[in-house]
Structure 1
C-alpha cells in the first residue's frame, strides 16, 4: 500500500512513519497543503491521510482541489481535533471518505486505511497475501503455511505474524507489535514475550532453521539463514 500523509506536526508525522513503515507500507509526506497537492498530482497513491489544520492550504481546501481539479478518486482519511457535527459534515462535503478524531488509535487508523483501499477496489493490496522465504500468510483468510505445511495460530499470533511478515526482514519494534495487539491498553507484564514464544513454537520448531529472531532491546524480525544480522 502506498500512502501520502499531509501533516504539519512533526511529532505526529514521526509517529505515523514509525507505525506504518514497519507494516511494509510505502509512505510519502508533505508538511503543508500545497506540498501535498503537488505530490498527489505527481504520484499515484492507494490512500491519503490528510490533516485539516494545514498552513497555506488547509485540509478542506486541499481535499476539494483533489476532487475538483485533479479529479483523483484516491480515498482520503481526514485527521482532526474538531469533533462537532458541522466539522464532520464539512470534511465529507469537501470530498473526504472517512474522518478520524485526534487523539486516535494507530491500530484503528490502520484498519480504516485498509477498509478504504478495499472499498476503492484495491483488494489486491491485502488479498494477494504475504510471502517471506518459505513462509506464506493470507491475512484475510488467516491462512498461514511454511514450506507448504499449514500453521495454526491464535488470534494474537496471526496479528504478530502479519506485522513481522509485512516488515521482513526489517526489525519491528516491541512498541509497534504491542500497539498492533493491544492498542493503547498495553499490559504491564511482558505478555508479548509469551506470544512470541508461542509463535516460534509454531513457525520454527518443526523446521530446520529459525525465522523469528529477537533483536535485544529493540524488537523482533523475520530472517533467512543467509540474511545479514
Structure 2
C-alpha cells in the first residue's frame, strides 16, 4: 500500500534514457506519486518553472543542458530548496562531492536498484517535508497554506467547503468515500447541523467548476456508497 502521506507528491524525472525513465516512473506510480518526465535539461527547466515539483530525480549527463547546470540553476537562480536526487553513472568520489556541493540532497549511482531508489526518495521527502507545501494528482494542484487550487496550471475558484472537498478527495484517490466520512471530515465540529444532502450540493458545484476547465468527470458517484476521485 502506498504511504498516504506521500500520495500526491509530484516527482519530475529527468533522464534522457527512455527505458530508465519509464522504469523509474512505473515504480513511482506504484507508490502513489504523481510523475512528470523530461528527456533533457532544457525541458526539465521549463517543467520546473511551470509545475514546481516536490522533488527532482536528475540525471547529470543530459542533452542541451547538463544536470549540473540544472541543479545550479534551481539553487542559485530560482533560489529553490526543492529536494534533488542525482541519478547518474558518474561514480567517482569527486563527482559525488561536486553533486552535494551543488545542492543535491542525495546521490545515486547507476546501475541502481529501483526499490532502493524508492526508499531514498521517501527518506528525502520525509526529511525535507516542509519544502513542499502542496498536493498534486492527475493535473490538479492544491496549495493548502495559500488556499490555491489549479487544474493544469489554471486557477480554480473554489469556496472554502469546495476546497476542503477537493483536498479530501485528492488525499484518497480511487477510494470510495461515504457521505458520512465526508461530512465528518469537512464539517468536523458541526456535522450534526448539516444534512448529507448538503454534501451532494457542494459536490455538484465542485463538479461544475471542474468541468469548466476539463471535460473529464473526476468525481464519480458510486451508487449506494458515496463518491470516488479518479485519475486518468
Q: TM-score range by the shorter chain?
A: 0.5 to 0.7
Are 1:117 and 2:128 an aligned pair?
A: no
The structure 1 residue matched to 2:114, chosen from 102, 106, 131, is 106
State the Cα distance separating 1:104 from its structure 2 match.
0.9
**CA-CA distance at 1:99 after TM superposition:** 0.1
Pair 1:50 & 2:55 matched: no
Secondary structure of the residue aligned to 2:80 is coil
1:5-59 CA distance string (max 9 Å, x none): 1110011011111111122110011110011011111112221000010001110
Partner of 2:42: 34
Counterpart-to-counterpart distance in 2, 1:115 and 1:82: 22
Structure 2 equivalent of residue 17 of structure 1:
25
Contact 2:87-2:108 within 8 A present in 1 as well: yes
Q: Contact 2:81/2:131 (CA < 8 Å) preserved in 1?
A: no
TM-superposition CA deviations, 1:78-129 (whole Å, max 9, x none): 011121110101111121111001111111111111111111125999xxxx
Does 1:79 find its partner at 2:74? no
Q: Where has structure 1 moved over 4 Å in runs of 4 or more?
A: 122-125, 166-169
Structure 1: unaligned runs, 5 residues or longer:
126-165, 170-224
| CA–CA distance in structure 2, aligned partners of residues 74 and 123 of structure 1 | 6
Q: Does 2:16 match 1:8?
A: yes
Partner-residue secondary structure (3-state), 1:45: coil
Q: What is the distance in 2 between the residues matched to 1:108 and 1:28?
A: 20
Query: Are the counterparts in 2 of residues 46 and 122 from structure 1 also a CA contact under 8 Å?
Result: no
Count of aligned pairs? 135
TM-score, length-scaled by structure 1: 0.53
Unaligned runs of 5+ in 2: 1-8, 134-171, 176-223
Q: Is the 8 A contact 2:54 2:132 kept in 1?
A: no
Partner of 2:101: 93
Taking structure 2 as the reference length, the TM-score comes to 0.53
In the alignment, the residues of structure 2 paired with residue 54 and residue 112 of structure 1 have an alpha-carbon distance, to the nearest angstrom, of 22
2:54, 2:131 within 8 Å by CA — same for their partners in 1?
A: no
Instruction: Tell me how far 1:167 sits from its aligned partner.
Output: 8.3
